[in-house]
């Protein structure tokens, strides 16, 4: 991959976060120069150090990391002008549907104001390729069928609205300023370095942490809710492919689903996690308590499944990990660190 793309300078926002740190690690492994930016609101300095330690010293030296908030318009613009990245991978955001319902202003400031600061900084510095994280939440109330990029419904949360606004801005900047933007609609990404703590933690790290302590998990709803869970290695692959795809591709100034193209209910998810945790710990599955069920959360959609045909055809994207393969790898890594 590195030989094909040549060495470039990549700006990764949210570089100390879950997905961002995996992107930085992969780019350094490929011998790329990386400028990382994060304000540590949800990311951590530990993730940055883990990445540095995971690669050789000469490749770790290719990372220049800056603590900076994307809401700082002047700071972001100056950093982009100074480092002149060839590609921007924009991952920084304030995630979580429930968080956005509790505090819509904070989500807007980070996800919209911060987004356009980075986008306009790229425009002013002549950065052509801008790949950014969107979300399956933009599909809203479209229905339970397989989600296709061209058909979206009404947003059901402030978080979804911020991601939809980002898509509109990116497409406008592409048309007006000649930039090449690509939005990646992530579907329920999971993997190592995902924070299991706090009220807005994602379901898989939260459940994994509880099960590893033989504690009871909470399922919102009756367990029939389903998602297209996507392992983080698949997302890393998609970002690099999007950054490298031909300018003639139909996904330029568009959006593309990034997922596995398969659906898993919460009931099935907790069964898989229970199996892998028990096997790794040397326990019997029944030693992990059965889940407790609570009412559905406001803003959650019942089912989510991606059509990934466009990603396959235009990006050459094929998921390297199924949900079960990703869960097995994640559990092995996380529990090894705890022992």
Residues contacting residue 90 through CB under 8 Å, at least 6 positions apart: 13, 14, 115, 118, 119, 130, 131, 132, 133
Alpha-carbon distance of 294 to 222, in angstroms, equals 8
Alpha-carbon distance of 110 to 41, in angstroms, equals 10
Are 28 and 60 within 8 A, CB to CB? yes
Alpha-carbon distance of 162 to 155, in angstroms, equals 9
DSSP reduced 3-state for 292: strand
DSSP secondary structure of 128-183: -EEEEEEEGGGGTTS-SS-B-TT------SHHHHHHHHHHHHHHHHHHHH--EEEE
Instruction: Label the pairing between strands 226-227 and 264-265.
Output: antiparallel
Closest to 76 (Cα-Cα) out of 124, 33, 130, 40 = 124
DSSP 8-state class, residue 286: G
| Count of residues making up the chain | 339
Q: Indicate which residue of 159, 186, 231, 317 is catalytic.
A: 159
**DSSP H or E segment with residue 211:** helix 203-212
Tokens of 241: 């492919």
Report, in this order, helix, strand and coil percent for the chain, each rounded to 5: 45, 15, 35
Tell me the torsion sign for CA atoms 96, 85, 230, 25: negative
159 is annotated as an active-site residue: yes
- Residue numbers annotated as active site: 159
């Amino acid at each position: 991959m590195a030989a094909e793309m040549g060495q470039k300078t990549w700006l990764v926002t949210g570089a100390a976060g879950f997905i961002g740190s995996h992107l930085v690690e992969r780019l350094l492994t490929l011998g790329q120069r990386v400028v990382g930016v994060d304000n540590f609101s949800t990311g951590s300095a530990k993730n940055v150090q883990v990445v540095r330690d995971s690669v050789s010293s000469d490749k770790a030296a290719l990372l220049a990391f800056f603590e900076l908030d994307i809401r700082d318009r002047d700071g972001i613009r100056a950093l982009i002008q100074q480092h002149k990245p060839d590609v921007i991978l924009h991952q920084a955001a304030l995630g979580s549907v429930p968080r956005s319902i509790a505090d819509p202003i904070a989500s807007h400031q980070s996800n919209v104001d911060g987004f356009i600061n980075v986008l306009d900084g790229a425009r002013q510095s002549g950065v052509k390729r801008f790949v950014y994280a969107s979300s399956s939440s933009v599909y809203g109330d479209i229905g339970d069928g397989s989600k296709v990029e061209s058909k979206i419904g009404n947003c059901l949360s402030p978080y979804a609205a911020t991601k939809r606004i980002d898509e509109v801005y990116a497409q406008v900047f592409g048309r007006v300023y000649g930039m090449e933007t690509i939005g990646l609609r992530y579907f329920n990404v999971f993997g190592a370095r995902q924070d299991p703590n706090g009220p807005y933690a994602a379901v898989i790290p939260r459940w994994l942490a509880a099960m590893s302590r033989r504690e009871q998990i909470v399922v919102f709803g009756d367990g029939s809710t389903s998602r297209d869970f996507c392992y983080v290695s698949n997302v890393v692959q998609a970002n690099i492919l999007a950054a490298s795809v031909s300018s003639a591709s139909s996904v330029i100034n568009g959006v593309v689903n990034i997922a596995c193209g398969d659906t898993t209910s919460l009931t099935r998810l907790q069964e898989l996690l229970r199996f892998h945790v028990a096997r790794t710990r040397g326990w019997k599955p029944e030693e992990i308590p059965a889940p407790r069920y609570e009412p559905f959360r406001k803003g959650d959609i019942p089912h989510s499944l991606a059509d990934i045909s466009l990603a396959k055809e235009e990006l050459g994207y094929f998921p390297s990990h199924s949900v079960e393969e990703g869960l097995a790898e994640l559990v092995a890594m996380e529990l090894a660190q705890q022992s």
